[in-house]
Amino acid sequence: MSALIVLLFGVWDDRATLSPGIKFLGQLIAVHIVVLVGGVEIHSLTFALRVELPEIVGAPLTVLFLLGVTNAIN
């Protein structure tokens, strides 16, 4: 479902030049579907030791990470 949203916003952007805010909104919707419906979430970080993250940190960190990756690819 998220891939379809990204595809639709991409086609829409190709047909009519979208503002960065609208493109970001599409990415945000897609990422939230992945996190909320798909259950994808960063639960821990590993540097020298593994650190478990509370859910209040893990979910927003996952959203930021996925938005960053999506924009890097875009």
Quick one: tokens of 24? 């970001």
Check residue 52 and report its DSSP letter. Answer: E
Annotate 23-35 with b (16+ C-beta within 10 A) or e (fewer): beebbeebbbbbb
The count of other CB atoms within 10 Å of the CB of residue 36 is: 12
Which tens digits make up the pLDDT trace of 19-52?
999 999 999 999 999 999 999 999 999 989 999 9
Q: Is the pTM of this model over 0.95?
A: no
Q: Give the Cα separation of 47 and 41 in Å (integer).
A: 18
